[in-house]
Amino acid sequence: MFRTVALSAFLMGSVLAADLPVKEVVLYKNGVGYFRRGGELAAGDSARLDFKAADMNDVLKSLTILEEGGGKITGLRYDSSEPLARKLSEFPFQLGDQQPLSALLDQLKGARVELTLGAGKSAGIILGARQESAEEKQPPLEQVTLLLDAGELRTYDLAAITGVRFTDPVVQAQLQAYLASLVVGRSKEKRSVYIDSTQAQSRRISATYVVPTPVWKSSYRLIFAASAEPMLEGWAIVDNTSGEDWTKVRLALVSGRPVSFISRLYEPRYLQRQVAELPEDQAAEPEIYEGAVGGVLNSAMLQNMPMAAPPPPASAPHALQLRGRDASQLLKLQPGMAMTPSSIAATAEGHEMGELFEYSFSAPVTVRKDESAMLPFLQQAVTARKLLVYSGGGSEFPRNAAEITNSTGKTLDGGPITVYDGDAYAGEALVETVKAGDKRLISYAIDLGTRISTATDSSRDFVREIHVSRGVMTTRSTLQETTTYSIRNVDQKPKTLMLEHAIRPDYKLLKLKPAETTSSAYRFEVKLAGGATEKFPVAEERVFETSVTLTSVTPDYLLSYVQNKALDEAARKQLERISSQKESIAAADNDIRAAQQQLSEVVQDEQRVRDNIGSLNRVSGQQDLVQKYSRQLSDQETRIATLRDQLSELRKKKAALESELNSLIDKMEF
């Protein structure tokens, strides 16, 4: 059943809703803006706030209502995001594009209607309506048939009817609601939130919320005057794309990026539920019985019929969007034009706001819808000096630069800086956000009056340190590398060069101390005389560390470190003793291999003699030769026994030497 009461309240609220103008706007760098609206709400009145459909998720996440005087708000309503086609499908009729009146009346069979026919009227119940083809080049004929109160059926030509009125208030309200839904659906970009109250007195209310807004942008002008301190001007660029005017609002700009995200609160969510029913509530399935062939069919065989499983729930789709934007600008001066600070009133006050910084304009600000504004938020002297910066990168020329110390007492939001030197435009730069008291370098032009070349020389140093612990010898050697910068100042005026030398992993700076260090470079300040050439060497050292186990190295490897100057006398003697012990083990190992070779040769020769004896025993008359081979075989057996005893002693000797070596290694530490 369609609810006409709720519809009437909705339409009345749309017409009579009070307006809450924008009073305050705070723009952030993370793409959102904070808005505060306020106004008078009459007794029993409602207020309406209009938003873009895409902003409703943020509105529902952040909207707060405050009533001055301690009153209470009784409720909030907002336009649903239900699709228009789904809304219209709930009505008992449909209106198509260029649909004739007869088609609408035919869908409302049984509804009571009153027709105006010239000066007279006719009322009845709709029996049906139709459209008939007419003659060529004539509009089609439309007719409606009514059941009159007197019981007569009468057909009327709709072309002769000047008015149609549904006397049933339910049908009339349905038609009005259908048309209202079309109007709301046509405005796809707008959604309304209604603030209701039933109190008997008027009062003031405020509504605050956060919605997506264009990121505010900052740009600066750095002016070097010949006889005055450097001046820094800051301008904020604000875009009003909210769809309404900001008239005399309190405007504030925040430097910082608070965490912000989108939660899908506006779109209705539906969950797919599992289908579960009790077995006794299910309809019994038909069973077909076969005829008996022999014996009786057991009824237990017909039970436990399998059931079909319900389908799995469908998963909901998800979407992810990314947006980005970039911009640049260029400003030129006419020759001879003197550059002075702008004639502006920078009325913005800056103050810390937690981890953020806020620029608040003391005077009300007006920005019309679909317009942008440039607002001055800074104009004051700043600590700055001109110099050159060279960072390599394949160019032989350094850059004209400025070292700016933020002495304004405010956080300077990141943005482009246009530099004016004397009476001329000097170039442009970009700067990140600079906190109060912090310092930044900016470069804005190429200095063609200075040329820089580099040359690199490296040398491998000897082992500097040798340490032994737990049987592991660790050695440290160094590689020294010197980069020499040859700097020629072609101009006849002195200059200051800030030389950036890249920080390399595992390299340590020697002798020099940088003026300052960044996360990726050392900065050296070099004074250049007019027309002079300077050489600036930067020496670095890299330490290589190698570790080996003493049990795995050869005596020759150890001897290569014995004469090293990094060793003291006690350590040298320990290494010499280890080396000597390893030589003894190597000699014992050689003796073992020699004894094994001899034993192998005797065993092979013994087998040859045995084979010969076996062959001669099968030949008559060879007894003397067999006796000779037998004596040789006896001598070889004696030799084999002797060699095996000798090999056993040699292995015992090697094991003793290795045990002594392991003991020496375990005790060694320096």
pLDDT in tens, 168-207: 888 888 888 888 777 766 655 677 888 877 666 777 888 9
The pLDDT confidence band at residue 345, using thresholds 50, 70 and 90, is low
The alpha carbon torsion through 375, 380, 384, 390 (nearest 10 deg) reads: 0
- pLDDT beyond 70 at 53: yes
Q: Give the burial class of 391: count Cβ atoms within 10 A of its Cβ; 0-12 exposed, 13-18 middle, 19 or more buried.
A: middle
Residue 566 has pLDDT above 90, yes or no: no
d(CA 596, CA 624): 33
The whole-number pLDDT of residue 344 equals 62
**CA-to-CA distance for 170 and 108, rounded, in angstroms?**
12
Listed in sequence order, the residues at least 6 apart from 658 whose beta carbon sits closer than 8 Å to its beta carbon are 585
d(CA 206, CA 211): 16
Using the predicted structure, report yes or no on whether residue 513 has a pLDDT greater than 80: yes
From 3.90.1570, 3.40.50, 2.60.40, 1.10.3470, which CATH number describes the 450-552 domain? 2.60.40
User: 325 phi and psi, to 5 degrees?
Assistant: -155, 150
Q: What is d(CA 166, CA 151) in angstroms, rounded to the nearest whole number? A: 19
What does the alpha-carbon distance between residue 432 and residue 415 come to, in Å, rounded to a whole number? 7
Compute the average pLDDT of residues 571-576.
75
Secondary-structure percent of the chain, ordered helix, strand, coil, rounded to 5: 25, 40, 35
| Per-residue tokens: 242 | 């909210």
CB-hemisphere CA count at 13 Å for 471? 10
Q: What are phi and psi of 597, to 5 degrees?
A: -65, -45
Closest CA to 609 of 625, 642, 641, 632: 632
Cα 135 to Cα 132, 140, 263: the distances in Å are 10, 8, 61
516-548 pLDDT, tens digit per residue, is 998 889 999 999 999 999 999 999 988 877 877
H or E segment and range at residue 608: helix 569-616
Q: Rounded CA gap, 552 and 398, in Å?
A: 54
In 136-287 the beta strands, taken as DSSP E runs, fall at 141-148, 153-157, 163-166, 190-196, 203-212, 217-224, 231-240, 246-255
Query: CB of 402 within 8 A of CB of 384?
Result: yes
Instruction: Tell me if domain 112-167 and domain 450-552 are identical in fold.
Output: no
Task: Answer whether 80's CB lies under 8 Å from 60's CB.
Answer: no
Sheet holding 424-431, edge to edge: 371-381, 231-240, 217-224, 415-421, 424-431
Nearest in space to 232 (alpha carbons), one of 341, 330, 339: 341
List, for residues 92-114, the tens digit of each pLDDT value: 888 888 788 888 888 889 889 99
pLDDT at 648 exceeding the cut of 60 = yes
- Exposed e or buried b per residue across 538-553, where buried means at least 16 C-beta atoms within 10 angstroms of its C-beta: bebebeeeeeeebeeb
pLDDT higher at 308 or 83: 83
Tell me: pLDDT of 351 over 80. Answer: no
Six-digit token pair at 432?
A: 């990140």
How high is the mean pLDDT of the chain? 78
Instruction: Tell me which of 130 and 84 has the higher pLDDT.
Output: 130
Counted residue by residue, the chain has a size of 670
Least confident of 73-87, 112-126, 463-477: 73-87
HSE at residue 285, side-chain half, CA atoms within 13 A, is 11
Q: Is the per-residue pLDDT at 310 higher than 50? A: no
pLDDT confidence bin for 81, thresholds 50/70/90: low
- Those residues whose C-beta lies under 8 Å from the C-beta of residue 15, and which sit 6 or more positions away, are none
Contact in structure between 39 and 19 (CB atoms under 8 Å): yes
Instruction: Provide the pLDDT for residue 615.
Output: 73
Split at pLDDT 50, 70, 90, the class of 12 is: very low
d(CA 412, CA 95): 59
Q: What type of residue is 239?
A: D
Comparing 108-112, 312-316, 625-629, the range with the smallest average pLDDT is 312-316
Of residues 667 and 387, more confidence is placed in 387
Q: Which three-class secondary structure state does DSSP give residue 659?
A: helix
Q: What are the angstrom distances between the C-alpha of 314 and each of 244, 264, 267, 309?
A: 42, 19, 18, 15
Tell me how far apart the alpha carbons of residues 294 and 416 are, in angstroms, rounded to a whole number.
Answer: 101
* Whether residue 74 has pLDDT greater than 80: no
What residue ranges do the domains of the chain occupy? 112-167, 217-259+334-446, 450-552, 563-667
* pLDDT tens-digit map of 417-460: 999 998 789 999 998 888 888 988 989 999 999 999 999 887 76
CB 217 within 8 A of CB 372: no
Cβ atoms 40, 195 nearer than 8 A: no
Q: Which helix or strand (DSSP H or E) is residue 569 part of?
A: helix 569-616
Phi, psi of 152 (to 5 degrees): -85, 140
Q: Return d(Cα 146, Cα 114) in angstroms, integer.
A: 10
DSSP class of 315: P
**Would you call 489 exposed, middle or buried from its count of C-beta atoms within 10 A (0-12, 13-18, 19+)?**
buried
Report the share of the chain in percent with pLDDT over 90.
24
In Å, how far from its chain's centre is CA 524?
36
Of the candidates 406, 453, 415, which has an alpha carbon nearest to the alpha carbon of residue 434? Answer: 406
Token pair recorded at residue 662: 């392991």
Top pLDDT among 74 and 12 is at 74
pLDDT (tens digit per residue) in 287-301 = 544 434 444 434 444
Q: What is the pLDDT of residue 318?
A: 33
372: tokens are: 């942008």
Q: Considering only 50-64, 340-354, 462-476, 504-518, which range has the smallest mean pLDDT?
A: 340-354
Least confident of 147-151, 356-360, 406-410, 511-515: 356-360
Q: For 112-167, give the CATH class.
A: mainly beta
Alpha-helical regions (H) of 272-411? none
321 band by pLDDT with thresholds 50, 70 and 90: very low
Q: Compute the distance between CA of residue 65 and CA of residue 14 in angstroms, rounded to an integer.
A: 19
C-alpha separations of 285 from 17, 278, 279 in Å:
60, 15, 12
Burial class (CB in 10 A: 0-12, 13-18, 19+), 231: buried
Residue range 51-61: mean pLDDT, rounded: 87
Q: How far apart are CA 206 and CA 36, in angstroms?
A: 7
Residue in the block written with tokens 């063609």: 448
